[in-house]
Amino acid sequence: MQAQTHTTVDRHGYSLRFSPFEANYLLLATSQLYGLAGGGSLFLLAQNNQTDATAETKKNLTELCRLEWSDGLFDVAWCPYGADIAATASGDGSLQIWSGLDAEAATAQQTPKAPLICLQEHKNEIYSLDWGEKWNYHTLLSASWDCTLKLWDCNRQHSITTFVGHNDLIYCAKFSPLIANLFASVSTDGQLNLWNSLDLAGKPLMSIEAAHDSEVLACDWNHFDRNLLVTGGSDGLIRGWDLRKMRTHVFELYSGDFAVRRLACSPHSASVLASANYDFTTRIWNLEQGEAAKEINEQHTEFVCGLDWNPHRAHQLADCGWDAITNIYTPKCLTDVI
């Protein structure tokens, strides 16, 4: 497994996303002091895939630009219709929309240092951010530790809807990629909630009150099966849910003795799933090949918090953690299926 890496000194990784437009670019959201205090930084990184590059150069990611915010950054999402635009979620309860996130602007040092827009309504940290695609491409979804979710129109200064249905900190919320206007959220209250983004009353369509017997920190949707989503909890378990029979989970995977912080269903295979864990590992599953992880990567020395698949390159994965290290690699167990 040959990895490209980057170290962000004094900035601890929380989230990263590959560009939906450029195969070599990804954004990294980080915080000072593990997100407990201090500011945050957004990095635009690029892979080095030039044929004439040295072996040492190919091992390192290139930092194209760095943007600063006054509080920690906990999540990031690319705009689905603007190749140089992205949003970040912050510890001060605000969302920032940035521009000029491309190589041309960064090389010319023309990337604006301040965000285009700052959206502020949440009363506590925003830990999750999703920019709608297809049916919801103009909307942002934020999930906060103030126990609410908010839907935003990027052209307005105020949220469209506030969704209330959790009793504790909300860690993750994701739009379904295959069903219009449907999104899921998970919380430290143990609940998995499903919502209709068009419901201005802001109440859940369905609530699974004990999705885990613990805090639920992560969720994601399958990119091929519209009925399947997965959740991850502080119990170290990953559970699969079928929208057609939500009374109980349809499968369960063990991901270590510590919390599952983030989940990522592969955009290249219906059966491949990755998890980022608080036991310092990233694990890869193939659901068609049993309940045991096919691969356990131990490249980090702190909590692994960020995880994303490259939509342009089959089975290429990126992760980041509190050790300030970002890795991009193809898991060994998937190299023979590329």
Q: In sequence order, which residues have a C-beta less than 8 Å from that of residue 184 and are 6 or more positions away?
A: 173, 174, 176, 192, 193, 194, 195, 219, 221, 229
d(CA 29, CA 15): 5
Q: Would 73 be classed as within a structural domain?
A: yes
Q: Give whole-number Cα distances, 209 to 117, 206, 212, in Å.
A: 36, 9, 8
Residue 281 CA, chain-centre distance (Å), reads: 16
Q: Which pLDDT score is estimated for 154? A: 84
Q: Would 28 be classed as within a structural domain?
A: yes
Q: Would 82 be classed as within a structural domain?
A: yes
Q: Would 116 be classed as within a structural domain?
A: yes
Residue 222: count other Cβ atoms within 10 Å of its Cβ. Answer: 21
Q: Would 269 be classed as within a structural domain?
A: no
Q: Which pLDDT score is estimated for 208? A: 96
For the segment 224-242, the average pLDDT, to the nearest whole number, is 98
Q: 94 has which bridge partners?
A: 120
d(CA 324, CA 34): 9
CATH code of the domain in which 111 resides: 2.130.10.10
Reported as a single tens digit per residue, the pLDDT across 18-58 is 999 999 999 999 999 999 999 999 999 999 876 555 556 66
Domain count for the chain, please give it. 1
Q: Would 135 be classed as within a structural domain?
A: no
d(CA 203, CA 167): 13
Burial of 338 (0-12, 13-18, 19+ CB in 10 A): exposed
Q: Which pLDDT score is estimated for 189? A: 97
Q: Would 78 be classed as within a structural domain?
A: yes
Q: Which pLDDT score is estimated for 132? A: 86
Local confidence band at 133 (pLDDT 50, 70, 90 cut-offs)? confident
d(CA 91, CA 276): 21
57 three-class SS: helix
Percent above pLDDT 90 for the chain: 91
Q: Going along 100-198, which residue ranges are E strands? A: 117-120, 126-131, 139-144, 148-153, 159-164, 170-175, 182-187, 192-196
**Which structural domain range is residue 105 located in?**
1-120
Reported as a single tens digit per residue, the pLDDT across 287-331 is 999 999 999 999 999 999 999 999 999 999 999 999 999 999 999
Q: Which pLDDT score is estimated for 277? A: 98
Q: Which pLDDT score is estimated for 217? A: 98
Q: Would 130 be classed as within a structural domain?
A: no
